[in-house]
Amino acid sequence: MKVVILVLAVGCLTVAAAAAQVLHVDSNRGSDTNAGTAEQPLRTLEQAARLANAKAERGPLTIKLAAGIYALPRTVLFTNQCAFAREQRLTLEASVLPDDPNWSPGQMPAILSTEDPRPQGQSGGPTQTYGVKIKMSHVTVRGLKFLGNPLPNNWYSPLECLAANLNDVLVTQCLFVGDPDTLDIYSAVITDGNQFLVDHCVFSGCHACAVFWDGGRGAVGRGNAMRYCIVDGAKIGGVWTCDTDEDFEFHHNIVTRSEYFWMRKRGTPKTYRIHDCIVTGNRNYSGYGVETGATGLTGPEIGFDERRVVKEGKVELEKKRESRNYLQVVPGTPGSELGAGLFMKP
């Protein structure tokens, strides 16, 4: 009996070890015919997604991206709904994360979308942009840099999380950098799910930054949060809530130099709680919008429950690209005490 128990125990350990997988991706030295090990990395995020979607056994999977440019000639889809759970996640992350002492902004894997320049549909609508689309639950995206799109007239979202019954997605320590005139990001990250957390991210020069569309096909989105983030220069708004429940957490964020601080969907007179934030230098505070952009200011029917929200002063961000603190709050200036930005450790 003891021998049998020992064999079973060893067997369980073997299964657990096999389930905890890591795929390495390196756009500079990898090949999609490789095994995906540290010594033989894959080359493209698209191939890593294929392997993740084909995973049948339950267990976590981490996809580690080395520093480099990851151009997307096609949309990258993550669709595996059966192999992952809350404690057995799919994680898409940089090999070196911001809190590592050897990290620098130049080491962040950069996701560069391309685009089909042909107008879409019979009416010649916006062009089709190739980004990362997550259509599954229990996903973490960490430490990546998403860049803008060079073509005009697109509703580009580099990270889209839209799917029926989508739950439990964490986007953390990511950098979204756009330029409305040259490399536009229309909607940096968008979701229609529940328990969608945007944490310690930086949004610079995007149109709309974190968009919480609804809870899935018109339902109320619950358990969502935006915390410890920096928004600078949003051409539409820093946060956009639609059919989003009042349990939405919004705290320790900085929104500055934007057209609107907060965008909303008409017909959703919810009161959201905001605490420990800096909201300064924005043209408007709260507005209504639709898919194509802002439609005007909200009226007296809309209110916020605010605690410790600073609305005066100038936020200073580090603009030297060679600095480790690029696009972070300059130490000792307003907002530096909030802990917002890419770094989780002081």
State the virtual CA torsion across 144, 150, 156, 161 in degrees, nearest 10.
Answer: -20
pLDDT band, very low/low/confident/very high, at 214 (cuts 50, 70, 90): confident
pLDDT band, very low/low/confident/very high, at 11 (cuts 50, 70, 90): very low
Structural domain 21-118+127-310, CATH architecture: 3 Solenoid (2.160)
d(CA 158, CA 71): 12
For residue 218, the model assigns a pLDDT of 63
Mean pLDDT of 74-99: 96
d(CA 329, CA 335): 7
Q: Which of 308, 239, 234, 317 is nearest to 275 (CA)?
A: 308
pLDDT band, very low/low/confident/very high, at 153 (cuts 50, 70, 90): low
Q: Are 270 and 244 in contact (CB under 8 A)?
A: yes
- Tens digit of each residue's pLDDT (9 = 90 or more) over 315-333: 999 999 889 999 999 999 9
| Position 215 pLDDT exceeds 60 | no
For residue 175, the model assigns a pLDDT of 98
For residue 121, the model assigns a pLDDT of 59
Extents of the domains making up the chain: 21-118+127-310
For residue 152, the model assigns a pLDDT of 66
**pTM for the whole structure:** 0.91
| Position 4 pLDDT exceeds 50 | no
For residue 249, the model assigns a pLDDT of 97
Q: What is the DSSP string of 176-239?
A: EE-BTTTBB-SEEEEE-SEEEEEES-EEES-SEEEEE--SSTTSPB-S-EEES-EEE--SSEEE
d(CA 84, CA 111): 24
Q: Are 111 and 144 in contact (CB under 8 A)?
A: yes
- Tens digit of each residue's pLDDT (9 = 90 or more) over 232-273: 999 999 999 998 999 999 999 999 999 999 999 988 889 999
For residue 10, the model assigns a pLDDT of 34
Mean pLDDT of 206-219: 80
| Position 33 pLDDT exceeds 90 | yes
For residue 181, the model assigns a pLDDT of 79
Q: What tokens appear for 171 in the block?
A: 């986007």
- Tens digit of each residue's pLDDT (9 = 90 or more) over 268-310: 889 999 999 999 999 999 999 988 889 999 999 999 999 999 9
Half-sphere exposure (Cβ direction) of 308: Cα atoms closer than 13 Å: 10
Helix (H, G, I), strand (E, B) or coil at 15: helix
For residue 268, the model assigns a pLDDT of 83
